[in-house]
Amino acid sequence: MKNTDKGKNRRSFIKKLTMGSALVTAAPYVFSSPSQKQRLWLERSYEVEKFSANDQINLALIGSGIQGIYDTTAALKVAGVQLVAACDLYTGRLDRAKELWGAQLFVTRDYRKILERKDIDAVIVATPDHWHKKITIEALKAGKAVYCEKPMVQHFDEGHEIIKVQKETGKICQIGSQGMSSLGNEKAKQLYEEGAIGEMVMLDMYNDRYSSEGAWQYPIPPDAHPDTVDFDTFLGNAPKVPYDATRFFRWRNYRDYGTGVAGDLFVHAFSTLNFILSSQGPNRALSTGGLRYWKDGRDVPDVTLTFYDYPESKTHAAFNASFRVNFIAGSGGGGGFRLIGTEGEMQVSANSVTLKRSKLGKTPGGYSLVAYTEETQQKIRDGYAAKNLESREEILKLGETTFEAPRGYKGDHYDHFYNFFQGVRGKNTVVQDPTFGLRAAGAALLANESYYQSKAVQWDPKAMKLI
């Protein structure tokens, strides 16, 4: 953001701290000492609506796998939505769909039969990544609103095609990084814009896993067979290979169908980061890593470290971002997302934000004074004391506060679908449209581009193109 805006926001934030005014509706935000910690509740209200049987949004699921089931479960919690159809290339998942949502559900292995139906208003596209572009575009052209799982695309150039078709059709298209609509993101954005952490310096994101399931070694059903799995259709535009159940059920492990940890995990972080900072994204990436443990035939790394450069923009200073994923973390696993600024840091998750503001050492200590005589040391101390570098105002703004979602919070997944369906009903603008989706996916995919080329890669965040 512009220097004048930064200064204004920072002064406004400090004033709120020292006067004890509220940063959330429910409680004041003020520190009485540098060691004080407190917890405050976040709030969100939803429009209370009742819908008649004739005013339901008819929803269809295309890709009834793990994420598709979680997506649909969240979507059906939103009032005025009903599932009428499901599609998958494995018959066992179609049986599961009926088990979950009723024997009356229309099921098919051909997604085109869903797009042909005039009574379907919206579709969830939760297929493998290499099918996202084709199905999303066809669904938009068929007049459906689309909720497309992240990453929006498998390859950079595909995103501009989706953006073009969405604008031409005017249909709603939401990209599915569900944390985007969370209370945590909303509060972090507010705090950042109020100057809570000062200027951005660094983003630190990590995701450690320590299980076969976490490393995408998903179970393969015993009835998997060419008769129950439409493997040829699954391949789509990918290279033709003989039937392979492992490739079908563990597609994330292969470059032909997925996007590795970058498209699966980095993209969530970029969605959140770009949202909080109102940023268009990075302009450079350098990635390294390797296949260290899960040598099961996959051709994507299980350890990835990528460093990104964000250029200065109207909404943030130039800063660096560090992304790390480890699928064989002997520590047991864990994760974090931390924005570090010149005056504080924020730990952000879907359900909470922890803001920490520490004391900046502005006066010399024993380490740097040891080379001087005692008399000179005292003169130096007196000189710094006269500058009054540590004012009462500076001390009052130190400490730690955690903003938490209330008990009973419906969750980020619900919020993202609520936002989507409000958009379908014409009541708002979706929070993650295809342009936003490409900025997040493009930034994430830079990691793969750099890793496989073994060099840094450049990106134009405004035009959303490789340089």
What is the per-residue pLDDT across 240-296, written as a single tens digit (0 to 9) for each? 999 999 999 999 999 999 999 999 999 999 999 999 999 999 999 999 999 999 999
Q: Average model confidence (pLDDT) for the chain?
A: 91
Would you say 88 and 106 are in contact if contact means Cβ atoms under 8 Å apart?
no
Is domain 8-37+183-408+433-466 annotated with CATH 3.40.50.300?
no
CATH of 53-180, one of 3.30.2270.10, 3.40.50.720, 3.50.50.60, 2.60.120.10: 3.40.50.720
Measuring CA to CA, which residue among 259, 270, 283, 258 is closest to residue 205?
270
What is the per-residue pLDDT across 428-457, written as a single tens digit (0 to 9) for each? 999 999 999 999 999 999 999 999 999 999
Residue 277 and residue 157: Cα distance in Å, rounded? 25
Which positions ≥6 away from 363 have C-beta within 8 Å?
Answer: 381, 384, 385, 389, 390
pTM here is 0.90
What distances in angstroms separate CA 200 from CA 195, 313, 315, one per listed residue? 10, 11, 10
pLDDT confidence of residue 178: 83
What is the per-residue pLDDT across 341-378, written as a single tens digit (0 to 9) for each? 999 999 999 999 999 998 777 778 888 898 999 999 99
**Least confident among 15-19, 217-221, 453-457:** 15-19
